[in-house]
Amino acid sequence: MASSIALLSGLVFGLGLIESGMTDPAKVKGFLDLFGAWDPSLALVMGGAIVVGFFAFARAKRQRVAWSGALIELPASRVVDARLVIGGLIFGTSWGIAGYCPGPAIVSAAAGSAAAVAFVAAMGVGMACHDWLLAQR
């Protein structure tokens, strides 16, 4: 059951990214080009995601178990520290340079984009380095 819910959720998410054009790095770069040919479509997609997320997290706070039967464990920390800020800067800079964030990159890689495959591979290496560094602490 949990795998079916995860598969269906991933398919809906991926199809939404494709339909909204967010798998095209030019869309992301167009959004970031404030002084050129600015494309506001990413802001509309983000706004829609924020509205859906607001209601989903409000409901999740009132529940202990997800539809899949898994326990819901929301983060308890609200601390904004150097690790969070530096990580956000690295993520945002990489996203702006490449035109991909993880979701659209995985969808584009699955569709056969060589650039997205390279991005996903680099992302995997970065995640492995992060885990290795944390294990060294």
For Cα atoms 17, 23, 26, give the angle at the middle one, nearest 5 degrees: 135
| CA dist., res. 104 & res. 56, Å (int) | 21
pLDDT recorded at residue 66: 85
pTM of the model: 0.77
- Could you tell me if 39 and 31 are in contact, meaning their C-beta atoms sit under 8 angstroms apart? yes
Which two structure tokens, joined as six digits, stand for 31?
Answer: 């959004």
Tens-level pLDDT at each residue, the chain (137 residues): 778 888 998 999 999 889 888 899 988 888 888 888 899 988 998 899 899 999 998 988 888 888 888 888 888 888 999 989 999 999 889 888 898 989 999 999 999 999 999 999 999 999 999 999 989 98
